[in-house]
Amino acid sequence: MAKVYNWQLGREMLYPYEERHSKRQFAFVFNINRCIGCQTCTMACKSTWTFSRGQEYMWWNNVESKPYGGYPHFWDAKLLAMLERANPGGQVWNAAAVTGNRSPYGVFEGKTIFDAVSEEQNEEGETFQETSGRVLGYLPSDDDWDAPNIYEDTARRPENLHRRWGGEGASLPAHQSWFFHLQRICNHCTYPGCLAACPRQAIYKRPEDGVVLIDQQRCRGYRKCVEGCPYKKSMYRGTTRTSEKCIACYPRLEGKDDFITPDGVPIETRCMAACVGKIRMQGFVRIARDGTWERDPDNPLYYMVKEEKIALPLYPQFGTEPNGYYIPPRWVPMDYLVQMFGPGAAHAVEAYVCPSRRMLGLLQLFRVAQKIIARFKLVEGKKVGESEVSLPSGQKKTLEIFNDTVIGYDTKGRQVVQLTVEEPLFERPQEHYNSI
């Protein structure tokens, strides 16, 4: 295996192919805090790409409810357990070793799915590398692909259910539950597990935008990509005997189709364009020769991931350098967030709870236009209000609101949309209606 540099881990790691990078990379940010799990994105994708025979269980975009659910079931818990078995007690971060752009979250000292193939053993003492392949993973069973998100997000049984079933028998205590919705599409990873696992070299990364695709002509349906993708976003189709995956709606990204993009600029993918909760933003980032992101602070994605460090990769410890980033949910216990998003979680939550002036403006730009917003600018206005916010650490801070205007530009540098933050509106509580 070759050695490649993974900036999300802050170190080199093993990978079956030499390090190469696309000129720019398709990437996206999801703000988990605002998702209501309406599944509009899921159905937008389904009705566009996976409505045919043999694709019934395929959900290239799915929204699952954590910590209880997942699709396929327990996909992350299973892989985390495999990695723990391969490297007991060693899957840890050195969060103190932060060195700028090359290791913004510190250094991951554990084993990735590529490092661990020579460690994980079966009952006969054979390593995973000897028996299966180049990437640590597993093939989900048919049951695992069953029933995406059914009952995962049911906060409580219906009020009248007890009576309907006769009103007899033991009554169980109600759990005090919290959960959040995790939106998932293919991460179009820099070091894709699916690509590494494919024995046919049927999977490739486009040099122009880093989108990961499966060549349907070359694919023979061995399902090594299904096994090797840690996020389980490559799926087998029995009717064609090939595997399929999210294609990042590339006809929309290319901006070349007169019908889809008459302005000739990239527009958002279907799942993004359909989001009613305004939680999604996507675009492209420029990639430097060493694989890090070129400095571009006016690019919304660069600004959130690199400048503010408010959006984090999903399970970076898997080692594929995913290009999907998440603003972590701020009500979730920090241990859980660190496991899922790495050691940058505490900073990300604080930076989100009390956002900078520029960040507050940028948050308004999420999902306001069809076109991909390549650049944004903040025009400062006067202060119009403030409120007190509590950080997870318990510290109190003052969030200042300004009458700022944020402007989004498309890839041709034309203004797409303009938003102005106005004075916050306070409604007088009923008990104080006459207290002037």
Partner 1 sequence: MSKESNRRHGRDKEPEADDPMELRMVPVPGGDPVFMATCLIEEYARLGLDDEAILALFRQPIYQTHALYEERGEAWVRNLIRGVLARTGRLRVSVTVLHHIGGGDG
The distance of closest approach from Cβ of residue 38 to partner 1 in the complex, given in angstroms and rounded to an integer, is 9
- Distance from first CA to last CA of the chain, Å, rounded? 74
Query: From CA 317, how far away is CA 369, in angstroms rounded?
Result: 34
Which of residues 200 and 330 has its CB atom nearest to partner 1 in the complex?
Answer: 330
β-strand partners of 281: 29
Identify the three-state secondary structure at position 394.
coil
- Please identify, using beta-carbon distances, which residue of 225 and 312 lies nearer to partner 1: 312
| Residue listed under structure tokens 């999420």 | 366
Interacting residue with partner 1 among 199, 207, 238, 262 (CB under 8 A): 262
In eight-state DSSP terms, residue 100 is: G
Residue 268 Cβ vs partner 1, minimum distance, rounded to whole Å:
8
Specify the residue, 182 or 214, whose C-beta has the smaller distance to partner 1.
Answer: 182
Give the residue among 3, 32, 16 at the shortest CA–CA distance from 341: 32
Indicate the Cα dihedral angle 359, 364, 370, 375, nearest 10°.
Answer: -30
Q: Which stretch binds partner 1 (CB under 8 A): 206-214, 301-309, 316-324, 367-375?
A: 367-375
Token pair recorded at residue 226: 């299904």
Least distance between partner 1 and beta carbon 118 (Å): 26
Q: Which is nearer to partner 1, 9 or 249 (CB)?
A: 249
Choose between 131 and 387: whose C-beta lies nearer to partner 1: 387
Taking alpha carbons only, the member of 318, 317, 323 closest to residue 302 is 323
CB closer to partner 1 out of 11 and 358 = 358
Print the binding letters for residues 55-94 with partner 1: x by CB under 8 A, - otherwise: ------------xxx----x--------------------
φ, ψ for residue 389, nearest 5 deg: -125, 150
Q: State the nearest-atom distance from the C-beta of 74 to partner 1, in Å.
A: 7
Query: Per-residue contact track with partner 1, 27 to 46, x per CB under 8 A?
Result: ------xx-xx------x--
Strand partners, 6: 11
Neighbours of 331 (CB within 10 A): 11
Contacts (CB under 8 A) with partner 1, residues 412-431: 414-427, 429-430
Of 165 and 426, the one with the shorter C-beta distance to partner 1 is 426
Instruction: Check residue 332 for interaction with partner 1 (CB under 8 A).
Output: yes
Residue 370 CB, shortest distance to partner 1, in Å, is 4
Which one of residues 177, 239, 393, 395 is an interface residue with partner 1 (CB under 8 A)? 177
Among 332, 330, 300, which Cα is nearest to 391's? 330
Interface pick for partner 1 out of 27, 58, 198, 363 (rule CB under 8 A): 363
> What contacts 24+ positions apart, CB below 8 Å, involve 66-72?
66/179, 66/180, 66/181, 66/182, 66/340, 67/179, 67/336, 68/152, 68/179, 69/149, 69/152, 69/153, 71/145, 71/148, 71/149, 71/184, 71/232, 72/140, 72/144, 72/145, 72/232
SS3 (DSSP) at 88:
coil
Name the residue nearer to partner 1 (CB basis): 33 or 112.
33
Selected from 364, 377, 391, 402, the binder of partner 1 by CB under 8 A is 364
Number of residues that bind partner 1 (CB under 8 A): 70
**Coil, helix or strand at residue 358:** helix
The residue within the footprint of partner 1, chosen from 53, 156, 164, 382 (CB under 8 A), is: 156
Among 18, 96, 160, 174, the residue binding partner 1 under the rule CB under 8 A is 174
Binding interface with partner 1 (CB under 8 A):
33-34, 36-37, 44, 67-69, 74, 143, 151-156, 158-159, 174-180, 252, 260-263, 267-268, 270, 273-274, 278, 329-333, 335-336, 363-364, 368-371, 385, 387-389, 401, 414-427, 429-430
